[in-house]
Structure 1
Amino acid sequence: MLNRAVLLGRLTKDPEMRYTPSGTAVTTFTLAIDRRMTNQQGERETDFLPIVVWSKLAELCAQYLKKGQQAAVEGRIQVRNYENKEGRRVYVTEIVAENVQFLSGGQGQGGEPSYAGGFDKPASSFGGSGGGGRSRDSFNDNPFADDQKPIDISDDDLPF
């Protein structure tokens, strides 16, 4: 089974961070992602997808991402539900991010990646899996890392 989502969009507002009762950081934000096709009026529609980020990556996202900034998110789709005050079941679909690439419009200028003070790699390369002792060069195979250029993907490359 496979549950992977790879998204590229812009933040609709600044991220919101809070802490769980056990002290774990959780940050939420919404990515606006333009659809590839146009509607009947010739306009592109936009999807607004909620993103949830946990732990250290949540703190980094809250610190370095801002409204309007472009970001790439890799994670999984999660559907959860709860009962609201009126007793109705409410379903929520969101992306739980495991890796977030900070692409543009942040602290850096002129298309340069933003750097987080005290860390040995650019903020655009932080992942949710810790990364260990990976060097900056190990991120070069990532199509979202550092080059700030559009990704050229043909329809033949897509699995659907």
Structure 2
Amino acid sequence: MLNSVSLTGRLTKEPEVFRTANELDIVRFTLAVNRVFKNKTGQRETDFIECVIFGKRALTFAGSTTKGSLLGISGRLSNNHFENKQGEQVWRTAVVVDNFAWLESRATTESRRAGTLQATGTDDVMPVEEGTPPQVATDDLPF
């Protein structure tokens, strides 16, 4: 059996940092991930995926990302349940992040943090007409 998740998306808000009684750092965040297909009205739908990251990587993650940051993550799904204040059993599914990668420049992230760049989802993406392959200069190819 294999439990593996890979996602690319944008942070929906600032990461939340917590510390357990055992001094373990935890960061929770939500990643907005667009679906590859369009709905009946021609719009792409978005899934909002709860994620959690532990330890030193959690602090690195929280210190280097901000709302709107474009990220790639990999990890595993985790299902947990607990009893809420009303005595009801609540189930929570989240991605436990093992690795992450920044998919935009540090300057873009810093501009967003300073408030000079809005998180539109298309900050550094060139629009390409649907059905038309993007143009790539042969100088950009690694071979």
The reply to whether TM is greater than 0.5 is: yes
Kindly state the Cα deviation for residue 108 of structure 1 after the two structures are TM-superposed.
Answer: 2.6
* Counterpart for residue 12 of structure 1: 12
Q: Provide the C-alpha distance between the structure 1 equivalents of 2:35 and 2:108, rounded to a whole number of angstroms.
A: 28
Q: Provide the C-alpha distance between the structure 1 equivalents of 2:12 and 2:38, rounded to a whole number of angstroms.
A: 21
Gaps of 5+ in 2: 110-124, 126-143
Query: Runs of 4+ in structure 1 displaced over 2 angstroms?
Result: 107-110
* Counterpart for residue 103 of structure 2: 103
Task: Letter of the 1:71 partner, please give it.
Answer: L
Partner of 1:59: helix, strand, or coil? helix
* Counterpart for residue 133 of structure 1: none
Task: Letter of the 1:64 partner, please give it.
Answer: S
Mapping 1:10-159, distance limit 5 Å: 10-104=10-104, 107-109=106-108
Gaps of 5+ in 1: 111-147, 149-160
Task: Letter of the 1:30 partner, please give it.
Answer: T
- Determine which structure has greater relative contact order: mean sequence separation of CA pairs < 8 Å that are 6+ residues apart, divided by chain length: 2
| Pairs aligned (count) | 111
| Structure number with bigger Rg | 2
Aligned-residue CA RMSD in angstroms? 1.9
Q: Provide the C-alpha distance between the structure 2 equivalents of 1:93 and 1:109, rounded to a whole number of angstroms.
A: 31
Task: Letter of the 1:70 partner, please give it.
Answer: L
* Counterpart for residue 138 of structure 1: none
TM-score by length of 2: 0.73
Kindly state the Cα deviation for residue 109 of structure 1 after the two structures are TM-superposed.
Answer: 4.6
Q: Provide the C-alpha distance between the structure 1 equivalents of 2:35 and 2:90, rounded to a whole number of angstroms.
A: 26
Q: Provide the C-alpha distance between the structure 1 equivalents of 2:35 and 2:76, rounded to a whole number of angstroms.
A: 20
